[in-house]
């Protein structure tokens, strides 16, 4: 069960790394919980409205490499996903290394991202 859930939430999380998802307000609406909040790697706090606005206005996101996924099941409908990410530059080199944590909740709409935090880290 844990491996299956890890794979499902990882796939949902990785959708948020892709430009085609980030430019699709309908898909973002499905993925973000109505009470979504984020503390970005900058330390800035975002609510759902602010993050959806910022995502839709940003330039194309560079490719993201995400590794070392781990899941902690809190209840049958709440899970914490943690991983490391980095953006990939034009020659394939990683930069902007970040530790990430995402709290996913399952409700009538399916699994939705309730909270996300990014913390800068060294390679």
- 87 CA to centre of own chain: 13
CATH fold, domain 2-120, is Nuclear Transport Factor 2; Chain: A, (3.10.450)
Contacts of 108 (CB under 8 A, 6+ apart): none
In whole angstroms, what is the distance from residue 27 CA to residue 44 CA?
24
Residue 55: name the closest of 78, 32, 85 by CA: 32
pLDDT tens over the chain, length 123 residues: 699 999 999 999 999 999 999 889 999 999 999 999 999 999 999 999 999 888 877 778 899 999 999 999 999 999 999 999 999 999 999 999 999 999 999 999 999 999 999 999 998
Domain ranges of the chain: 2-120
> Model-level pTM?
0.93
Q: Are 4 and 12 in contact (CB under 8 A)?
A: no
Residues in the chain: 123
């Amino acid at each position: 069960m844990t491996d299956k859930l890890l794979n499902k939430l990882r796939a949902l999380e990785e959708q948020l790394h892709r430009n085609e998802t980030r430019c699709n307000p309908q898909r973002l609406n499905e993925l973000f919980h109505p009470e979504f909040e984020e503390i970005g790697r900058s330390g800035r706090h975002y609510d759902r409205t602010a993050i959806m606005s910022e995502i839709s206005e940003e330039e194309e996101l560079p490719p993201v490499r995400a590794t070392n996924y781990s899941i902690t099941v809190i209840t049958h409908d709440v899970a914490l996903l943690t991983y490391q990410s980095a953006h990939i530059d034009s020659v394939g080199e990683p930069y902007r290394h970040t530790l990430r944590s995402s709290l996913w909740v399952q409700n009538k709409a399916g699994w939705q991202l309730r909270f996300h935090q990014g913390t800068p880290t060294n390679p």
